[in-house]
Amino acid sequence: MLPDIILLDGPVGSGKGTQANLLSQKFGYYQFGFGTELRDFVSEFASQPEHPNYAKAIEIEGILTRGDNVNPEDLLMVAGKKIEALIQADQKIVIDSVKTMGAFEWLSDITKGSNISGLLVQLYLDINVTLERLSHRYYAPHIKDLPFNSYEEALKHCLEGEAPIRRQDDQNVDRIYRQYELYNENRDNIKHIMTETGDFKYLQISGFDSILDVFDKILEYLEV
């Protein structure tokens, strides 16, 4: 039986979003990313000085730019209710970015002792490979959550009048190093929180492998 929640964890550039998209397409999982929710929050409110959420959006924008951890309370304020609603609707979820230890703890708490089954997949990757991948990562503007590995590949998916874009985050080397360091500092603790404190199963895969090889390993573990 497929797990109710698949949590993809790994450093930036390890392929979390791509694997989440593949799982979504094949099994109907709802693709959810805390990072995406935060960027959408900033995009909506950071340009509205009169809105009550303006100051918080500016604060979060600065945190994301630096590559620091977002306050767990802010993260759950932006995204927590949406996850709870998906769970209540019995919608299977694949989560491709979590952002803070507090969010991992929250996910562990809401699933522990329940009928909700979960799988933590950790993808590991060298920082030099990370930097190389991000230097070639492009997006089609209307598909903001699916990265492509080259300008040419992204161009094939662009609508008329669009051109491939790169995220500012992918070009901020200091931020990339900072996120990579944070991931390595927290990796073992994340595994402990989700598998020993929580009830998630565990799978570790090398992010060096090709997209399809990684996906095949996930499918093999799921026995589908």
Mean pLDDT of 161-187: 89
Q: Does residue 220 sit within a domain?
A: no
3-class secondary-structure state, position 83 = helix
Q: Does residue 201 sit within a domain?
A: yes
- Indicate whether this model's pTM tops 0.85: no
CATH number at residue 148: 3.40.50.300
Domain housing 95: 5-213
- Residue 112: per-residue pLDDT: 83
Q: Does residue 157 sit within a domain?
A: yes
Total number of domains in the chain: 1
- Residue 64: per-residue pLDDT: 82
Q: Does residue 109 sit within a domain?
A: yes
Q: Does residue 108 sit within a domain?
A: yes
pLDDT band at 162 (very low <50, low <70, confident <90, very high): very high
Which tens digit of pLDDT belongs to each residue from 108-142? Answer: 888 887 889 999 999 988 999 889 989 999 999 98
Q: Does residue 218 sit within a domain?
A: no
Q: How far is residue 97 CA from its own chain's centroid?
A: 2
Backbone angles phi, psi at 208, to 5 degrees: -70, -25
